Structure formats: structure tokens, C-alpha cells
A and B are shown apart, each in its own frame.
Chain A
């Protein structure tokens, strides 16, 4: 992992730009580590990164306005801007806004779709409707993103109302990390779901950034 702030900071406040590249990536805080790892591994020094707080995902209706504000704030300082969000529950509004702003964004419905590869994800979408997906970030931040916001720390009796229709938890691993695998398995146990680990690496994210 290369220079990312801790997960709590990425969840609550995000990441300010480093002012060290000509193209600015505006990303979800949940993707910061992966993007910085890819940048370091591939020598993409022309890419700068700023992240919005990952907790925006708890309120998808706020994502579009937050991205727009960040694009407007920084566009004069860079040759180009690329938005590293998928649709993320905005119902097409983020894509529409990006088009209006003249900036591109990552294709796909969610990060867990582009990490697996959007085409591959779409292929099994119909047969895997009862899967609850976690990425590396979401496994690490399971309590902050799932357990507490869903009230399960205070009201465990809500578990089946919230997750009763799910059958399995799929941990989409971006990295080989036995500790995360064990934690993801525990998350599945806590939710009462079967467990599956699926190594995805960075999926479509790598290709999307490589083109910039």
C-alpha cells in the first residue's frame, strides 16, 4: 500500500489532492488505496488523486453534487479530470452530470462490478441476485459501513429483516491477504450468510486508469 491515509480518514474526510500530476482523479475514498497502489506499480506519475469521503455511499443522493463541486473546484488547476466512481446508486444522475461537466468516469454500476469486470459481473448478475459483496476496503470497514449504519450493533434483531433475503457474502479480494479473508469470513458469519472469496485484483479499474 502506497501513501494512502488510514481507512477512517478515507471514510470520514477523504483525501486532498497532492498537486503532483496533470490529470486529477476524483475518487471515492473506498478506492484510494487501490488507485495509489496502481499508480505506484505502473509509474503513473501524471495522475493526482483526491478522494471524497467514502461514507457518501451511505447517502448516494449526495454523491453527484459532491463530485460536481469537486470538479468545479479543481478543474482550472489540471489538464484533465477523471471521476473514479461507478454509478454507485445515483440512478444515472452522476453519469449525466459528468457528461454535462465534460469529464469522463469509470463505467459500471458499482465498484464491486468493475473490480470483477463489468462484463463478467453482468454475466452472472441474474444468477447471483442474493449475493452481498464486499471489497478489501469494505471488509476492513465492515463495522463502519455495514454493521453500525444498519443498527446491528444496537439492534441485532434487525439482521434478518435487513439481510434475510441474501444467501451469501462474496468477498471480492483485490489483494492476497489471509487476514482480510478471515475477517470477511467472520463478516459472513455475523450476517448469517454463506461465504465465498473471489479474487478479482483491480479488474476494469486498471484499464480505465491506464488509458489516461
Chain B
């Protein structure tokens, strides 16, 4: 986006630096993001503010441009790598400083499917939004989801699939949750390239999320509703 050559990050004021970090994230510049994070922390920014104002806000721009067909998978992956590098610095600090915890999500790609790019992006953006994320990886049978949900006392189950042949497995998981009387304990979000809203409804998920930004917003909405319900009860 911007011409980086003459920009010395440490000479920028906070506002300029944050905007420059958005640009650097957009361009997938991992080292610049690490440097920017360290500069802001050195200026006594709270880790949570660095995360939300510099990284998450920047990644949200990347997500919007991906959705609008301006950016493509490779660029998003590079941006994600840069954000991941920034988050690696922030994570231990966030744990120390007691950043707000919004909820806990267990996420994984379904049985028979090894695709994880979308899932990884969702996991990262959920973490950025303050959710604790337990990533089960790829090729998950129903037992693994159920065991993790109970063990982790999760609020949300996220399932991902890239293949038309594997996406029906999400229904197997949801039906098993119902059979065991566990369905109402969890918010179930599903996503993946061949899915759509109708499919999400048909299999009994709470929502289909077309991208990571939608997943974050949907998760936040459902958690807020859950809290309201508990408050009212």
C-alpha cells in the first residue's frame, strides 16, 4: 500500500504508527509488525490496546478487502502470518495483564477434511477479539469435538469444511450433541467455502459464518444474548 522505504516506525507518533501498522499488516510485513508492537509496548500501551487497535483493526481491513475480492488468499495468509507474529509477542502479556475474556471456543476441521486455512484465520481473529480458542486441528471425528467441549467447558463450537463431501459431517456432530442432550449448552458456528446459510440452518447450527469477521461478530452477538438470558433468569 504505502511506500515503506523512508519510514522509520519509531519516529512516528502513536496515531501514525497505528495507521502504518495497518498498512504493514495489509502488506504482510511480519518484521515491521513485530517492531511496531514492540514500539507501542515501549510507549506503555496496554497489550490489549495494541492487539485491538493495531492488529485486529488492521486485519479487519484485510478481511473486508478479501470479502470484496480486492485481496486474495495469498495476501490474506501473509497478513495473517504478520498478525500471528505480533500476537506471539502480546499473548504472554495479555495473560499477565488480565485482558477481557469474552468466551471460549473449540474449533476444528471435520473428519475427512484436511483444509485449515479458513479455520486458522477464524481462530486467530477470535483470539484477537478476546476469545480463548482451543484448536483441534484437522480431520476431527465427533468424539474429539465432544470430549474437547466438555473438557474445556467451552461456550462455542466452530466447525469448518472445504469439501462438499465432508461438510455433511457437521450434521453428524450436531445430531450427536442433540442425542446426548448437550446441544443447548453450546453455540454452534459453521463455515467453509461450499457452505451457505441454508445449509447451516438445515443441519441445526446456530449460524453459518461466511468469513472470519462474520464469525467474530456472530460469536460476540450470541455470547451477549447468552449473558442477557442468564441476567434475565
Contact = CB atoms under 8 A, between A and B. Distances in A.
B194 A89 contact: yes
A165 B116 contact: yes
B75 A165 contact: no
A87 to B, nearest CB: 5
A150 B73 contact: yes
A92 B164 contact: yes
Nearest to B161: A91
B154 interface: no
Is the contact region of chain A dominated by helix, strand, or loop, or is it mixed? Answer: loop
Interface stretch (A10-18, A34-42, A125-133, A172-180): A125-133
Contacts of B77: 151, 155, 158, 161-162
Interface in A109-135: 109-110, 122, 125-126, 129-130
Contacts of A92: 164, 194, 199
Given A60-B193, A150-B73, A125 B199 contact: no
Among B72, B74, B77, B139, the most chain A Cβ lie within 10 Å of the Cβ of B74
A81 to B, nearest CB: 23
Given A109-B165, A125-B165, A149-B72, A155 B195 contact: no
A155 B77 CA distance: 10
Interface in B147-186: 163-165, 167
A126 B112 contact: yes
Contacts of B94: none
A165 B114 CA distance: 6
A149 B114 CA distance: 20
B206 interface: no
Is the contact region of chain B dominated by helix, strand, or loop, or is it mixed? Answer: loop
Interface in A17-75: 60-61
Interface size class of A (residues with CB under 8 A): 20 to 34
B134 interface: no
Given A91-B167, A92-B164, A129-B114, A158 B74 contact: yes
Interface in B91-134: 112-117
A87 B164 contact: yes
Contact of A91 (B78, B138, B164): B164
Given A60-B193, A161-B117, A165-B138, A155 B78 contact: yes
Contacts of B75: 151
A57 B195 CA distance: 15
Interface of A: 60-61, 87, 89-93, 109-110, 122, 125-126, 129-130, 149-152, 154-155, 158, 161-162, 165-166
Given A109-B165, A129-B112, 5 more contacts: A87-B194, A91-B196, A91-B199, A126-B112, A158-B77
Interface of B: 72-75, 77-78, 81, 112-117, 138-139, 163-165, 167, 193-196, 199
